[in-house]
Amino acid sequence: MSQDRRIKVYDTTLRDGTQAEGISFSASEKVLLAKRMDRFGIDYIEGGWPGSNPRDMEFFNLIRSEQFDHAKIAAFGSTRRAGVDVAEDPQIQMLLDAQTPVVTIFGKSWLLHVIEVLKVSPEENLAMIQDSVSYLVAQGKEVIYDAEHFFDGYLDDADYAVSTLRAAVAGGASFLTLCDTNGGRQVSEITEIVAVIKERFSDQEIGVHCHNDCGLGVAVSIAGIEAGATMVQGTLNGYGERVGNANLTSIIPNLYHKLGFQLSCGSEMRQLKSLSNYVDELAHRVPSRRSPFVGKSAFAHKGGVHANAAQKVAHSYEHMRPELIGNQQRILLSDMSGGTSIEMKAKQMGVAVDRKSPLMKTFVEKIKRLENEGHEFENADASFFVLLHEHFYDQEDIFELVSYRIISEVVRGSGRNISEAVVKLKLAGEEEVKISVAESTGPVGALDHAARIAFGAHFPILKEVQLADYKVRILQTGQGTESITQVLVKSTDGKKSWWTSGADPNIIEASWEALRDSFRYKLLREGD
């Protein structure tokens, strides 16, 4: 589907997004995000509300020295106060002090807010809107008018809500943004109302600003665009007050790839996933696996039938090519996997196996048995990599664990917790037993250190490996101490990281299995 209309993308992550619980960016981080959005092709970037806090003022001071190739920076604020000359309103002056090319101001569209919240007459509210817009336009600013609570106001008193838009137009606003501030409107309501407004203001650019309180933020935003709006406002990754704003990382690919609208960021669409991850990184958030388009699970296949079909015809189980937005297809291994899943996953890891090989049947059975015993291969690719080499290439252990012993000492009240591990092992083809000893604050750390000392003496490359993360999950709850403990270990060599797994009723033995696979993976990858 091809569309002639070019849609402007207006990002408010730096202002509305920071109203989300637990989200905060420093002024310098906001500058970094703005520069990254500019490279991606975002049209407008709302930087904050001058005067609302020192951080936003610092951002506007910093951003003046930055050069932008495409995006326009906007300062956000409200209409003048009631009964105050616009030129004397401190908040309006702060908007000018921000020295941005664009100013976005919001005004009241809902009589409930005009009378009960602002406590002014309907006429004074209209004057506040027109005065503020016209004054800012006279100062050389492009003014975007956000009609707050517009859809609620329209459904309450359509004539008055429309009159607030006329006041903004009379003042010279370049865009009229219709806001679903409470996030409570349905798709059909947005479609109908935007179409009516576009018809009444046929020469005016219309925008939509929606929230996700009903889980419809993306849907109602797209409905507004299809009904005639030419600007969409939202935040990256859907950050925002309450449950969030309309999510631009879903809206943008829908508009461009699904509906064929023209976007300035269209040529950079393959950078969408990395942009999404960058925002999460600066916000100290773990990227959501389940995010549409950009999530790690967005193009992941677990069921054997699905994986088989996706291999033959990718779009049979994928709504688009993941590479178009910077994502990739992933094959997940589990007790639902078949030969095709294993062949595809192995190929992605650089290991050649033939699903028609007689070995495949026994390997599938092994995977299912190990998964049933508590092992995890879906998120432990390195353990799967080791298992492939064992089964298909007869790769034997180059070392044999003879025994290990761990002693933990806790001195109450002293804050002293010491664990000592003694590891005994033999290299393949040798009878001599190697012994290593190490201490740490916990038993797994001591075991890890002792093993690396022992292995590192013969394989120096293993000295690079460090334990980066450690996760424990109790399976078969209700079995008490007989429950299976599943351990996931993340290791790193400073350049790459990988996950391995182990499972056993004994948490130390489960940890050993995961650690062992980590070392074996490193050696196999390095060809040592």
Residues 172 and 75 in one domain: yes
Neighbouring-strand partners of residue 408: 419
Which of the residue ranges 125-139, 465-479, 492-506 would you say has the lowest mean pLDDT?
465-479
Are 466 and 498 in contact by the 8 Å Cβ rule? The answer is no
> pLDDT tens digit string along 22-43?
999 999 999 999 999 999 999 9
The mean per-residue pLDDT over the stretch 245-269 comes to 97
Which residues are CB-contacts of 397 (< 8 A; sequence separation ≥ 6)? 428, 520
Residues 346 and 405 in one domain: no
Q: Which of 54, 64, 160, 171 is nearest to 112 (CA)?
A: 160
- Mean pLDDT over the full length of the chain: 90
Is 131 domain-assigned?
yes
DSSP 8-class letter at 298: T
Are 152 and 183 in contact by the 8 Å Cβ rule? The answer is no
Is 281 domain-assigned?
no
Is 1 domain-assigned?
no
Residues 251 and 365 in one domain: no
Residues 367 and 408 in one domain: no
Residues 346 and 433 in one domain: no
Is 29 domain-assigned?
yes
Amino acid at 461: I
The mean per-residue pLDDT over the stretch 290-319 comes to 73
Residues 129 and 170 in one domain: yes
Residues 349 and 435 in one domain: no
> pLDDT tens digit string along 94-132?
999 999 999 999 999 999 999 999 999 999 999 999 999
Is 267 domain-assigned?
no
Is 394 domain-assigned?
no
**Domain residue limits at 58:** 6-262
Q: Kindly tell me if the per-residue pLDDT of 317 is higher than 80.
A: no
Is 128 domain-assigned?
yes
Top-confidence residue, 46 or 376: 46
Q: Kindly tell me if the per-residue pLDDT of 308 is higher than 70.
A: no
Q: How far apart are CA 174 and CA 449, in angstroms?
A: 65
Which residues are CB-contacts of 123 (< 8 A; sequence separation ≥ 6)? none
Tokens of 11: 């990002």
Residues 498 and 434 in one domain: yes
Q: Where residue 492 sits, what CATH number does that domain have?
A: 3.30.160.270
Residues 408 and 367 in one domain: no
pLDDT for position 399: 77
Residues 236 and 137 in one domain: yes
**DSSP conformation letters of 30-95:** HHHHHHHHHHHT-SEEEEE-TTT-HHHHHHHHHHTT---SS-EEEEEEEPPPTTS-GGG-HHHHHH
Cα–Cα distances (Å) from 319 to 268, 283, 293, 526, in that order, read 20, 29, 10, 37
> pLDDT tens digit string along 423-447?
998 877 788 888 999 999 889 889 9
Is 465 domain-assigned?
yes
Tokens of 446: 């001591």
Whole-model pTM: value is 0.76
Q: Where residue 37 sits, what CATH number does that domain have?
A: 3.20.20.70
Residues 343 and 448 in one domain: no
| Count: domains in the chain | 3
pLDDT for position 72: 98
Residues 142 and 233 in one domain: yes
Q: How far apart are CA 175 and CA 198, in angstroms?
A: 12
Q: How far apart are CA 504 and CA 51, in angstroms?
A: 58
Q: Kindly tell me if the per-residue pLDDT of 16 is higher than 70.
A: yes
